[in-house]
Chains A and B, each alone.
Chain A
Amino acid sequence: EAGVAQSPRYKIIEKRQSVAFWCNPISGHATLYWYQQILGQGPKLLIQFQNNGVVDDSQLPKDRFSAERLKGVDSTLKIQPAKLEDSAVYLCASSLAGYEQFFGPGTRLTVL
């Protein structure tokens, strides 16, 4: 079974530029999550989708972050414009049922 795929793996941008991350969840997983993980911290949930609907985006900084999940499968997370404090690893996870979430390798973003 293929795992959660994410791209790119690494991205370096300057502040005020825009960036987009892509996630392909495990086939059949209805729930998709985007997390932000700052070095030395646990993952922080940014947004949760159930199929192509948003379940929770209460911690998504909506003035600069946006996310969509087209046709209930792939998802993209965008940051525009980026700030220095956005430097982090962005993790995508999917789940079929309940507590067990399967994570992709993450995208490491550096904002200069």
Chain B
Amino acid sequence: QKEVEQDPGPLSVPEGAIVSLNCTYSNSAFQYFMWYRQYSRKGPELLMYTYSSGNKEDGRFTAQVDKSSKYISLFIRDSQPSDSATYLCAMSNSNYQLIWGAGTKLIIKP
């Protein structure tokens, strides 16, 4: 069993829809939870991070962490074609080494 599980998709939704992306993990020592966005032929870029449990909002993006269920989510409101990318979750314990999900390919249809 992988430490971090993420559905690879692809996930295709119409423009304007609410998108929900998720990861599950097995290591209860993880403290930092991150979402990276990766456009085709580019390196990943940090989108959001959360420390421990709770919600964090940044514009159209909301990150949620439920440590009791070992489950994290990223919500995108009012999705745009420019949001089409691969979204990678990543987690870290206190040594800051990231453990990555496989990434979910998201396609927003105009």
- Residue positions of A touching B, CB distance < 8 A: 4, 40-45, 48, 56, 91, 93, 95, 98-106, 108
Contact = CB atoms under 8 A, between A and B. Distances in A.
Interface residues of B, number: 22
B41 to A, nearest CB: 7
Contact of A101 (B6, B42, B98, B102): B98
Nearest to B4: A42
A103 B97 contact: no
Contacts of A100: 46, 49
Contact of A99 (B4, B8, B96, B103): B96
B44 to A, nearest CB: 5
28 contacts: A4-B43, A40-B8, A40-B102, A41-B103, A42-B6, A42-B88, A42-B90, A42-B103, A43-B44, A43-B88, A43-B98, A44-B100, A45-B98, A91-B43, A93-B43, A95-B96, A99-B92, A99-B96, A99-B98, A100-B46, A100-B49, A103-B43, A104-B43, A105-B41, A105-B43, A106-B41, A106-B42, A108-B41
Interface string B42-64: 11111001000000000000000
B43 A56 contact: no
Given A40-B8, A42-B88, A42-B103, A103 B45 contact: yes
Given A40-B8, A42-B103, A99 B32 contact: yes
Contact of A106 (B34, B43, B88): B43
Nearest to A43: B100
Contacts of A106: 41-43
Contacts of B100: 42-44
Interface of B: 4, 6, 8, 32, 34, 41-46, 49, 88, 90, 92, 96-98, 100-103
A40 B105 CA distance: 9
A98 B6 CA distance: 23
Contacts of A104: 43
Complex A-B, nearest 3 residue pairs according to Cβ-Cβ distance, in ascending order: A103-B43, A42-B100, A99-B32
Residue of B4, B32, B45, B96 contacting most chain A CB atoms (<10 Å) = B96
